[in-house]
Structure 1
Amino acid sequence: MKNSKTVFQDFIANITLKESTDEIRSIAYLVFAKILRLDRTDILAAKPLALDQEQEKELYTIAQRINKHEPIQYILGEAEFFGRMFKVNSAVLIPRPETEYLIHEILHHTNLYKNHAPHILDIGTGSGCIPVTIKKELPEASVTATDISTEALAIAKENALMLNASVEFLQHDILTQNIPLGRLDVVVSNPPYIAQTEGALMNRNVLQYEPHLALFVPDDDALKFYKAIAVKAYEVLNDGGLLIVEINERFGHETAAIFKANHFHDVAIMKDLDGKDRIVKGIV
């Protein structure tokens, strides 16, 4: 009979990605936690482990999918965001740690409200990780989320149900439609912001598997979503309301200029942990 440590080592031996040993181990730990319910301590303890034929086949299949650069989050069907697990598939972007900055800033802003339940809108919600997290962190808030994709909205609704978060979801195209809501306190968005020519520089796991609709914008109009969001958010935000967006690091100052041109004040560019421009925010 094999043990957990040996099975883990055998699994890693089947991974042919040209990634660091630490990266491959991190992926393998996620697989063993989800498929075999074994954590790092269990694996290192070399516990006796009898795999049935179905489990052996599943581990082999997962290894082959990893070798084709498919993101482990899609393989396992889940990704962590702000300490919670969200369902994901190829219809939605995988939540990124840097997007959590949006949540922190929104929580800081809404702390300024006294005896007032804020109304918050997320534009281009994808998996729903932003509005669901906001609702869990701010139960008193009224939270609405939109997306153009019916497939994305289906996943977002599943996540809201799974995490018991009361969020209203609407199918909506911010480029062609006005925001169909009353007065808002926060508008947040992580819209498509990668220029088409940047695709050649991206990792295969992103380029081949994540939805291009949620990633790319034309080279000649890379800021089109920010232009539409700034114009339409200004029309529905209350005085003192916050507009906050995640951005392409290349266009921090250009995005900030769009905010200022649309009458937002206290406009600020915020950097992520890598020192890259990542967030732009402004106040009505």
Structure 2
Amino acid sequence: MLLSHLRIQFIERLKDDYPATEIESFFYILTEEYLGMTRLEAALDRDFEVSEEQKAWFEHALLRLKDHEPIQHITGKEEFFGMNFRVSKHVLIPRPETEELVEWIVADFEKEEKKIRVLDIGTGSGCIAISLAKALKNAEVTAFDVSEEALELAKANAAENKVMVNFQKMDILVTESLAGKFDIIVSNPPYVRELEKKEMDKNVLGHEPEKALYVKDENPLIFYKKIAGLAMDFLEPGGCLYFEINQYLAEETKELVENFGFETGLKKDIFGNFRMLKGIKK
């Protein structure tokens, strides 16, 4: 089968499930993954002959897309902060707003010459911890997660991206103390309320870990309260607490962190929503 014919079939079979631009993106991601062709090469070489085996790979991917499985689960990876990260159903797929949070931290600390002790709480794939270890040359990074599967994946990502991170299994909600003081504590904790599930895409609802996403409507800031309390005790004076936050609860989260004694600032993402918060320990 010609690549051009495969593309037509691929688009036709997904047209009722996704926007046209997203289908195009899926197709070219898969041509790179399965055929080793860049988007430009695939667009120019429309008479490329696809083997039966390669056609079968596309068919399998197409069926998974019809089931609204994320393309990142099909390829097994996602790019974040210029690096590739393995992903699976056990971790959140790294997102652009989380990348913006990392960029904020790096901008604040990249000129720091002394050792920087960093703690990432709820590390998942390890994308925050590994990116900070890569970008901040003086950083000593520790990362917690409650999931064994997530930690195994994060360790593999650290090894592949050639950085050292101290990964530990920890349930932060029952943690009362930390091993020493830190200069940076960062977290992208669960913050989506159950009432907001109706806004979520099918690929998130059906394929990403609920434990990493959702909180009860009646106590949506449970993780922020716990982490801010620990941060007040275990950040160095002048140390910084960084959160990714629920845009609908930005002011509530800011007030909560301020009540612990932090000076705070909110930051908007590229879409103009307040999605990040920084607290400075006085």
Q: Under TM normalisation by the shorter chain, which class is it?
A: over 0.9
Q: Indicate the residue corresponding to 1:247 in structure 2.
A: 245
The equivalent position to 2:123 in structure 1, one of 119, 122, 125, is 125
Identity %: 38
CA distance in 2, matches of 1:77, 1:3: 26
SS of corresponding position for 2:42? helix
Maintained 8 Å contact 1:179/1:233: no
SS of corresponding position for 2:173? coil
CA distance in 1, matches of 2:179, 2:46: 56
Maintained 8 Å contact 2:181/2:234: yes
CA distance in 1, matches of 2:197, 2:190: 13
Q: Indicate the residue corresponding to 1:87 in structure 2.
A: 86
CA distance in 1, matches of 2:138, 2:3: 45
Normalised by the length of structure 2, the TM-score is 0.96
Equivalence map 1:118-197=2 (5 Å): 118-197=116-195
Q: 1:17 to 1:232 in 2, by over 3 A?
A: farther
SS of corresponding position for 1:95? coil
Q: 1:234 to 1:17 in 2, by over 3 A?
A: farther
CA distance in 2, matches of 1:57, 1:44: 21
Q: 1:254 to 1:56 in 2, by over 3 A?
A: same
Question: What RMSD, in angstroms, separates the aligned Cα atoms of the two structures?
Answer: 1.4
Maintained 8 Å contact 2:72/2:87: yes
After superposition, what is the alpha-carbon deviation per residue over 1:57-99, rounded to whole angstroms, capped at 9, x for unaligned? Answer: 1110101110111110011100111121100000000000011
Q: Which sections of structure 2, spanning at least 5 residues, go unmatched? A: none
Q: 1:255 to 1:112 in 2, by over 3 A?
A: farther
C-alpha deviation, 1:105, in angstroms: 1.4
C-alpha deviation, 1:275, in angstroms: 1.1
Q: 1:145 to 1:246 in 2, by over 3 A?
A: same
C-alpha deviation, 1:47, in angstroms: 5.0
After superposition, what is the alpha-carbon deviation per residue over 1:135-161, rounded to whole angstroms, capped at 9, x for unaligned? Answer: 111132100100001111111111001
Q: Which sections of structure 1, spanning at least 5 residues, go unmatched? A: none
After superposition, what is the alpha-carbon deviation per residue over 1:216-251, rounded to whole angstroms, capped at 9, x for unaligned? Answer: 001100000000000001111011100000001111
Maintained 8 Å contact 1:269/1:281: yes
After superposition, what is the alpha-carbon deviation per residue over 1:14-45, rounded to whole angstroms, capped at 9, x for unaligned? Answer: 32443221111011111111111111211121
Q: Indicate the residue corresponding to 2:35 in structure 1.
A: 36
CA distance in 1, matches of 2:166, 2:71: 29
Q: Indicate the residue corresponding to 1:107 in structure 2.
A: 106
C-alpha deviation, 1:119, in angstroms: 0.5
C-alpha deviation, 1:5, in angstroms: 3.0
Maintained 8 Å contact 1:4/1:45: no
C-alpha deviation, 1:50, in angstroms: 3.0
Q: Indicate the residue corresponding to 1:200 in structure 2.
A: 198
Q: Indicate the residue corresponding to 1:276 in structure 2.
A: 273
Maintained 8 Å contact 2:3/2:50: no
C-alpha deviation, 1:46, in angstroms: 2.4
Normalised by the length of structure 1, the TM-score is 0.95
Maintained 8 Å contact 2:191/2:245: yes
Maintained 8 Å contact 2:225/2:256: yes
Q: Which moved more, 1:256-265 or 1:209-218?
A: 256-265
C-alpha deviation, 1:179, in angstroms: 4.2
1:260 partner amino acid: E
Q: Indicate the residue corresponding to 1:69 in structure 2.
A: 68
CA distance in 2, matches of 1:112, 1:255: 29
The equivalent position to 1:232 in structure 2, one of 226, 230, 233, is 230
1:271 partner amino acid: K
Aligned residues: 281
CA distance in 1, matches of 2:60, 2:3: 18
CA distance in 1, matches of 2:196, 2:179: 35
2:277 partner amino acid: V
Maintained 8 Å contact 1:3/1:46: no
Maintained 8 Å contact 1:124/1:147: yes
Maintained 8 Å contact 1:77/1:87: yes
CA distance in 2, matches of 1:164, 1:107: 18
CA distance in 2, matches of 1:280, 1:89: 28
CA distance in 2, matches of 1:127, 1:179: 24
After superposition, what is the alpha-carbon deviation per residue over 1:85-129, rounded to whole angstroms, capped at 9, x for unaligned? Answer: 10000000000001112111111221353x301010100000000
Q: 1:131 to 1:79 in 2, by over 3 A?
A: same
